[in-house]
A and B are shown apart, each in its own frame.
Chain A
């Protein structure tokens, strides 16, 4: 049995506390009134210097025509001041807009990290279910690793539930369609486009669906974890194993439906005017490649501690192959979504990428390098895929890249041009990383690291990819 070392436990708790403090600070320092927001912006302007100011004055008239354009430093106020009668009215509107964005910042930072960790854990669960359904022979020795990671689903789901409730209770403004008066024709906030989607986008429906997703995922996790441990000692002619198989088939079916709907509700709903048909798949690909990287990381760590005797270089090689393959798959979907919208250039669809390309150019483009070019070149070579530190380097870039991917999905819709990567974002990441480590390794310590009752265990322990020379084995071990 593996023992959750005190060092690692302390480390994860330190991450949680540090993250919680940072999150608390970011909420505390968010503006509470429009005046405070103005002050923050004014402070930003003075600290950014006047180099930007001049150029904005020149384009002020054009700026003024389209209210949608906000520059990244909030210097718009000056621009407006010089352009006449409408200045005051637009100023107030603009200030309120920026105020909402700044108020959203700590929420959005928290939400990005929460969704990233919840999604990664969920996809580990789905991958695990797929391995059971495929009756795969190679991954059985990794089952307990995957099960342990899915323990993180419980705390992240609970936190997600709180965020869902907070959104519904108007404690945050993450989802613009939840705002007061959006569905009311007499209100200033009335939005006929969103009202046309009211059959799907309504608060009771959204809340109930969100709860259903979380319940389905957690119910399967709870069941399969319990029954997988039962499998070890069942000795009932494969009855438990078959039951687990059947339940996993059912889960994969439900997962594919709930995952798509979850990505519409929780991510696409942030931009209620925009829609994309392959969005569910795109979110799936992003989370799946991150999930495989997470499995590889935990596996490499536990193997280095001697806790996984059945895992050899070929297993690492296979995980790296999956990381490589799904990196390409993610790129395929990312590009398919981008290129179709770019090519047709229909205004109602294009705004999504215009906002991202103008205000998020660096993360938007860096993401393609990190999630595609780097893993492709690093993990193309078959020998590299079985060398743990190569996989770790590739994995760090992949995980960072997919965090940025979620960041670029959420931030433009919630904070717009007011984005940055600072204390709020970093501490939310550390907070959830701490929870992830604590949940994963304490769960791994609670069960036999070898799933003894699985009929494919023997095959998995002798799994060997043909051109990998396992360390500590001679040529006589395989033929």
Chain B
């Protein structure tokens, strides 16, 4: 496997980082990754990242939960064993529907919330015992790091990043 080089540019302020991202994007360099200790408002827009579709998945998970609740209440309370419990009408699902609404609501929320979180974990590749991917531990505390792949343009990139207020610029071998 061919080893490739990347530039790590460090910043200490999110505003400076944002401006740097805009400068680098304006020069049409690809930004591989940006590491931040906290969410930087507008960073995704500046980097041109596509909007998340997590909310859309949540909507469909919610519909799934609602369907499960309707199926379950109908099967258990109406089809399988329609007992008379305290005079509640178990002749049809609709006749007893108000009694099922709390569980319908809760299962909708349950499915939407949990499946969305699991989707988030899978898409973000987060799980217990996962090896951390920090290129530098300072990025979890007070430094921001922009990673740009190098294609025989080390000097040009270094010069450009130096003008953007980077406090440290390293060229790193990535395996």
Question: In the complex, are the beta carbons of A380 and B101 less than 8 A apart?
Answer: no
What are 10 A-B pairs at a CB distance below 8 A? A338-B98, A339-B98, A339-B99, A380-B59, A382-B55, A466-B42, A467-B51, A475-B45, A475-B46, A479-B41
**Roughly how many angstroms separate A467 CA and B53 CA in the complex, as a whole number?**
13
Main secondary structure of the interface of B (DSSP, over half): helix
| Known contacts A380-B59, A467-B51; A342 and B45 CB within 8 A of each other | no
Question: In the complex, are the beta carbons of B18 and A479 less than 8 A apart?
Answer: yes
Task: Provide the residues of chain B in CB contact with A343, threshold 8 Å.
Answer: 98-99
| A226 is an interface residue with CB less than 8 A from chain B | no
Residues of A in contact, count (CB < 8 Å): 13
| B128 is an interface residue with CB less than 8 A from chain A | no
Given A335-B101, A478-B42, A479-B46; 14 other pairs, CB 8 A cutoff: A335-B98, A338-B98, A339-B98, A339-B99, A343-B99, A345-B87, A380-B59, A466-B41, A466-B42, A467-B51, A475-B45, A475-B46, A479-B41, A479-B42
Which residue in chain B gives the minimum CB-CB distance to A478?
B42
Encode contact with B along A93-134: 1 for CB under 8 Å, 0 otherwise.
Answer: 000000000000000000000000000000000000000000
Task: Provide the residues of chain B in CB contact with A380, threshold 8 Å.
Answer: 59
Task: Provide the residues of chain B in CB contact with A382, threshold 8 Å.
Answer: 55
Task: Provide the residues of chain A in CB contact with B99, threshold 8 Å.
Answer: 339, 343
**Roughly how many angstroms separate A479 CA and B46 CA in the complex, as a whole number?**
8
**Roughly how many angstroms separate A343 CA and B41 CA in the complex, as a whole number?**
48
B70 CB to nearest chain A CB (Å): 15
Question: In the complex, are the beta carbons of B41 and A342 less than 8 A apart?
Answer: no
Encode contact with B along A454-479: 1 for CB under 8 Å, 0 otherwise.
Answer: 00000000000011000000010011
Could you tell me which residues of chain B, from 24 to 69, have a CB within 8 Å of some CB in chain A?
A: 41-42, 45-46, 51, 55, 59
Which residue in chain A gives the minimum CB-CB distance to B88?
A343
Could you tell me which residues of chain A, from 302 to 357, have a CB within 8 Å of some CB in chain B?
A: 335, 338-339, 342-343, 345
**Roughly how many angstroms separate A382 CA and B58 CA in the complex, as a whole number?**
14
Which residue in chain B gives the minimum CB-CB distance to A344?
B86
Task: Provide the residues of chain A in CB contact with B51, threshold 8 Å.
Answer: 467
A306 CB to nearest chain B CB (Å): 29
| Known contacts A335-B101, A339-B98, A343-B98; A479 and B45 CB within 8 A of each other | yes
B96 CB to nearest chain A CB (Å): 10
**Roughly how many angstroms separate A317 CA and B46 CA in the complex, as a whole number?**
22
**Roughly how many angstroms separate A339 CA and B99 CA in the complex, as a whole number?**
7
A149 CB to nearest chain B CB (Å): 33
Which residue in chain A gives the minimum CB-CB distance to B98?
A339
**Roughly how many angstroms separate A129 CA and B46 CA in the complex, as a whole number?**
38
Encode contact with A along B73-108: 1 for CB under 8 Å, 0 otherwise.
Answer: 000000000000001000000000011010000000
